[in-house]
Every structure is written in structure tokens, then in C-alpha cells.
Amino acid sequence: MGICLAATLAGVGLEIVYFTHAGALWRDEAGGVQLAMLPAFSETWRMLAHEGAPVFFPTLVRVWLALGLGASDMA
């Protein structure tokens, strides 16, 4: 039991270190966020032809931003 708890805590600690030291968004991720932040969804839909990701990702980011969860780089 103690070994399992120690391994779990070590894993959680490593995840925290990774999360706090992750770099900036990659170019395709930053492009997807910019696509999701367009003023109207019709513009997002029109520009989707130039994006490599399906419509789900920009829509998910758009909902995330609408909920107020994207106020910072960490979010």
C-alpha cells in the first residue's frame, strides 16, 4: 500500500513539474487558438479550409473562451 501511494505521489509531482515548465504553444496550436478567437463563427468556418485540424478543436476552444476559462496563458 505504501509503495503504491509513494508511486502515485511521485507521478503527481512529476505532472506538476511538467505542467509548470511546459513551453509555449506550438505553431499549429497557436493557429488553432487564433482561428477560434475570430469574431464570428462564420469566419472560423470560412477559414477552416486553411487549417489542418477538424472543426471540433476550434469549436472546443471557442466554448472554453466563452466560459471565461481562457483568460491567461496557463488557462
Read off the pLDDT of residues 41-63 as tens digits, 9 standing for 90 and up: 888 888 877 777 787 888 888 88
Residue pair 1/9 in contact (Cβ under 8 Å)? The answer is no
DSSP type of residue 49 = G
Angle in degrees, CA 5, 6, 10, rounded to 5:
120
Domain boundaries along the sequence of the chain: 24-75
Proportion of the chain in helix, strand, coil states, percent, rounded to 5: 70, 0, 30
Q: Collect all residues with Cβ–Cβ distance below 8 Å to 34 and sequence separation of at least 6.
A: none
Give residue-wise pLDDT tens across range 6-29. Answer: 999 999 999 988 888 777 777 777
- Amino acid letter, residue 72: S
